[in-house]
Amino acid sequence: MVKILIDNGHGVNTTGKQSPDGRLHEYAYAREIAKRVEKCLKCKGYDVERIVPEEFDISLSIRCKRVNDICRKVGSKNVLVVSIHNNAVGSDGKWYSARGFTAHVGLNASANSKRLAACLWNKAIELGLKGNRAVPNEKYITQNLAICRDTLCPAVLTENLFQDNKEDVDFLLSEEGKTAITTLHVEGIIDYINNVAK
Ligand SMILES: [Zn+2]
């Protein structure tokens, strides 16, 4: 069985990373979604673990080590990691117009990392979360990201709408929004496991 690892990104002591009106804090939002994703996948019988149970910031090198320790134990091909975030245009306390979901992979991403990103992207589009960002044909954005670059298994970082877009924040904080963000991860990961990770 594939071991699903969820990284909830930043900690309570990470500065910035919030909506201009202070209603959404990225660390708290990512944790809430990570817990919902974990619970939902566990209910469906999947093996899930959050790699950052702590509330405070855990360095990327330690987060990558936690993932890789599991990869070495059960085999990299039997593991995947998704790191949950909210996007932002700036960090200057202003609202911006960029909206929507994007999936990101590392510069050295494996074919399976790209397939996992595409599964998540497809679900996000199905759920109407495309937004107004220029979207690459590949369904993911390639970036130098430690959690993707330095882990041994398929790895994707999701930017779940913009914490400095007013409409996105309203949606993210609604029950409808939380359900949609949770569902895109749960169903995207299951699609990947059923169709790719054989
Ligand atoms: Zn982030």
What is the residue extent of each domain of the chain? Answer: 3-195
CA 152 – ligand 1 centroid, Å: 21
CA 185 – ligand 1 centroid, Å: 16
Report d(CA 74, CA 37) in Å as an integer.
22
Q: Which CATH architecture has domain 3-195?
A: 3-Layer(aba) Sandwich (3.40)
Q: How large is the average pLDDT for residues 147-173?
A: 97
Tell me, what DSSP letter sits at residue 2? P
Neighbours of ion ligand 1 (CB under 5 A): 9, 85
Tell me the pLDDT tens digit for each residue of 174-190.
999 999 999 999 999 99
CA 109 – ligand 1 centroid, Å: 19
Supply the pLDDT for residue 111.
Answer: 96
pLDDT band, very low/low/confident/very high, at 134 (cuts 50, 70, 90): low
Q: How many CB atoms lie within 10 A of CB 53?
A: 11
pLDDT band, very low/low/confident/very high, at 14 (cuts 50, 70, 90): confident
The letter for the amino acid at 102 is T
The per-residue pLDDT of the chain, averaged, comes to 95
CA 103 – ligand 1 centroid, Å: 12
